[in-house]
Amino acid sequence: MWQDGFQKGVNIPKDTIIQVWKSKIHEIGTIIRKGYRVIFSTCWYLDHVRGYVHWQDFYNCEPNEIEAQEGIEILGGEACLWGEYISSEMVMSMLWPRGCAVAEKLWSSRKPRVLVDVSRRLSEQRCRMLRRGLDVGFANGPEYCVRRQAARSGQLSLQKVQQTFGQNEIESFLEKLRKSTNEPNVIYVSAIRDYTPIHLTSLALSMVGVLSITFMMLCRRKRR
C-alpha cells in the first residue's frame, strides 16, 4: 500500500508492505515502529529531471540511514517513473541508463564505492544497451560508444524497409521481363484493355475504311 493510507490513519493489517514515496529516510522509523515492512522509493523517481548529470543523486541515496535494528524492516527500493509528462518516445531514454545506477545501489553491499568507477561501469552499460538497439539516454554527459555493425532500432527498421522496397522493385522488374519473354503480346493486350469504348469504335471505323478503300482498288483493277 502507498504510504498515504498510513498517514490518513487507515486501519491497515500488520502484514501489509508500505511503499514510502514522499517521506525522507529518517521518517521511515515511524512506519516501521508500527509493525510494518517498507519499500522505499522517495529518492528514486526517474521523471525528476535536473539540468546536470544527476545519477549520482540516485546512487548516493541510502535507505538504511536509520537505526540498525529497524533497517531489517526495509525490504528494498523501487525506481519509479511517473508518466504524466512522458511520451512513448521518451520512456527508454528516461529509464536507462539512470535506472542502472539505482539497480547497482540496491543490489550491492553497503560498503562505500568510488563514483568514478561507477561512472565507468554506467558508461559501459549504456554502450551495451545501445549495441542491443535500445534508445537509451546519456550517462555522464556527451559521450560516445564504439559501434560494430549495429544501429538504433529506428535506423534498423528503416534499413529493413529500404532493403525490402529494393528487393520488391527488383523482383517486379524481373517478373515483367519474364512475361515479356514468354508472352510477347502481353504488353499489346494490356494496352488494348486500357482503351475506352470511344477509342475502340474509332479503331474499328478506321479498319473498315481501310478495307473499303482496298476493296474498291481491287474492283477497279478487275474492270481494267
120 and 224 assigned to the same domain: no
What is the total count of domains within the chain? Answer: 3
41 and 141 assigned to the same domain: yes
Residue 188 lies in a domain: no
* pLDDT at residue number 111: 79
Torsion angle of the four alpha carbons 101, 104, 109, 112, in this order, in degrees rounded to the nearest 10: -30
Please give the Cα distance from 9 to 1 (Å, whole number): 13
Residue 214 lies in a domain: yes
Task: Identify the CATH number of the domain in which residue 35 sits.
Answer: 3.20.20.80
65 and 176 assigned to the same domain: no
Distance from CA of residue 131 to its chain's centroid?
Answer: 14
26 and 51 assigned to the same domain: yes
121 and 91 assigned to the same domain: yes
Residue 189 lies in a domain: no
103 and 161 assigned to the same domain: no
Residue 74 lies in a domain: yes
70 and 170 assigned to the same domain: no
Question: Would you put residue 35 in left (φ > 0), alpha (ψ -120 to 50) or beta?
Answer: left
**What range defines the domain where residue 56 resides?**
3-150
What grid cell was written down for 61?
541515496
Residue 137 lies in a domain: yes
Contacts of 47 (CB under 8 A, 6+ apart): 80, 81, 82, 83, 84, 85, 86, 94
213 and 128 assigned to the same domain: no
170 and 127 assigned to the same domain: no
Q: Radius of gyration of the chain from Cα atoms?
A: 38
* pLDDT at residue number 185: 47
164 and 222 assigned to the same domain: no
11 and 115 assigned to the same domain: yes
* pLDDT at residue number 177: 61
Residue 104 lies in a domain: yes
166 and 78 assigned to the same domain: no
Please give the chain's pLDDT, 224 residues, in tens. Answer: 999 999 899 999 999 999 999 888 777 888 888 889 999 999 999 988 777 788 988 998 887 666 545 556 788 899 999 988 888 888 999 999 999 999 999 998 877 788 999 999 999 999 999 999 899 998 888 888 876 654 555 555 555 545 555 566 666 666 666 665 555 444 434 444 444 566 667 777 778 787 888 878 777 776 66
